[in-house]
């Protein structure tokens, strides 16, 4: 029998201490199951279950790929470089396409929990950078679940809760110390009735979760999610589809990568910068080769050819220096523009 409540929790920078502060006040008898996605480097082997097991009476685990039954009193933690997802009464992990440049993704977890559990779901956004969690929390709220964020004034990094507050109708914004009591109260109350008129959104969430489960976006009908755009995916250069969500939009490519507007801007800026550095490397390699050939020609007495090669080497060095100056100058401007876009007019809907 499923727990009365399914609690999906997302955090990033500053989130581990916050998670411990939340779970240490929850009894093992609470009628809820917990799902946690904490952003991690893909090369880092997550020790979060061990950390949580030292500060809570609940049991924290990394679920296996094949799935395990959802049980109350359990904390299911996303392992490194894998999305944490649910299907029916089962929990599983999958190494599908990245969402908002991350795997695991908070939005992927929240959206999966929203479509499966609807009004049973409680979404919690804790300390973290940028806007991951906003779209997923909108999904939980849209299908009748409860939206909770950490009080931004308390969060070590307030970007994730601030973004959620700006773009989602939040039910509770409170300090972590008060969250355990809230979860226990909600877990003891009857679950509200599912809202009307949300089946189309629910089926979209189901499709997107399926895409992240196995990455087979094109054959699953990713183009059904919205209209093609002129934008391309920074990860794979695939064409992006615009996914309408509330008053805003997200993007997904035909191989499955997903982005909020802010994450897409960051991805494009990073890809452009990488292109600049590749050009600089090419110019510097050309300059070294031209210098070497010029030295060889000079050694055999062909000074005219040597001079020609060395002049070309000097030109390549000058071009590399000019490009480097431009890139380092544009980085400062670009970072300001990205910050304004992530938390300005390009929201995820409300």
Confidence of residue 273 (pLDDT cuts 50, 70, 90): confident
Whether the predicted pLDDT of 190 surpasses 70: yes
Catalytic residue, candidates 81, 107, 132, 158:
132
Q: Is 39 a catalytic residue?
A: yes
Can you read off the two tokens belonging to residue 292? 């070497």
Confidence of residue 345 (pLDDT cuts 50, 70, 90): very low
Q: What is the per-residue pLDDT across 93-134, written as a single tens digit (0 to 9) for each?
A: 999 999 999 999 999 999 999 999 999 999 999 999 889 999
Q: Write down the pLDDT at residue 350.
A: 36
**Span 289-305, mean pLDDT?**
95
For domain 5-188, give the CATH number.
3.40.50.180
Catalytic residue, candidates 39, 83, 167, 257:
39
Q: Write down the pLDDT at residue 331.
A: 58
For all residues of the chain together, what is the average pLDDT? Answer: 91
Catalytic residue, candidates 11, 12, 46, 139:
12
Domain limits of the chain?
A: 5-188, 216-350
Q: Is 62 a catalytic residue?
A: no
Q: Which range has the worst mean pLDDT, 40-44, 119-123, 237-241, 307-311?
A: 40-44
Quickly tell me which residue has 């094109």 as its tokens. 218
Quote the pTM value.
0.87
């Amino acid at each position: 029998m499923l727990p009365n409540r399914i609690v999906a929790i997302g955090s990033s920078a500053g989130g581990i201490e916050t998670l411990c502060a939340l779970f240490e006040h929850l009894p093992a008898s609470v009628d809820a199951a917990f799902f946690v996605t904490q952003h991690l480097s893909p090369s880092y082997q997550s020790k979060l279950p061990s950390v949580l097991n030292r500060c809570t009476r609940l049991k924290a685990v990394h679920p296996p790929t094949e799935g395990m039954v959802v049980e109350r009193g359990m904390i299911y933690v996303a392992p490194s470089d894998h999305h944490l997802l649910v299907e029916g009464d089962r929990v599983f992990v999958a190494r599908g396409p990245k969402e908002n440049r991350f795997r695991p993704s908070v939005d992927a977890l929240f959206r999966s929990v929203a479509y499966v559990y609807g009004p049973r779901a409680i979404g919690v956004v804790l300390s973290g950078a940028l806007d991951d969690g906003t779209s997923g929390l909108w999904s939980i709220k849209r299908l009748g679940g409860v939206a909770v964020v950490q009080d931004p004034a308390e969060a070590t990094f307030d970007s994730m809760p601030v973004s959620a507050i700006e773009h989602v109708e939040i039910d509770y914004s409170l300090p972590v110390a008060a969250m355990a009591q809230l979860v226990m109260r909600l877990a003891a109350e009857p679950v509200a009735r599912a809202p009307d008129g949300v089946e189309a959104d629910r089926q979209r969430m189901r499709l997107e979760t399926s895409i992240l489960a196995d990455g087979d976006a094109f054959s699953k009908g990713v183009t059904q999610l919205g209209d093609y755009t002129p934008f391309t995916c920074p990860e794979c250069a695939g064409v992006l589809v615009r996914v309408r969500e509330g008053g805003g939009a997200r993007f997904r490519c035909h191989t499955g990568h997903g982005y909020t507007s802010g994450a897409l801007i960051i991805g494009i800026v990073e890809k452009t910068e990488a292109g600049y550095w590749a050009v600089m490397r090419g110019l510097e390699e050309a300059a070294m080769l031209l210098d070497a050939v010029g030295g060889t020609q000079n050694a055999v007495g062909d000074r005219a050819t040597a001079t020609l090669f060395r002049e070309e080497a000097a030109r390549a060095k000058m071009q590399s220096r000019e490009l480097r100056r431009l890139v380092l100058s544009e980085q400062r401007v670009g970072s300001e523009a990205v910050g304004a876009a992530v938390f300005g007019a390009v929201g995820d809907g409300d």
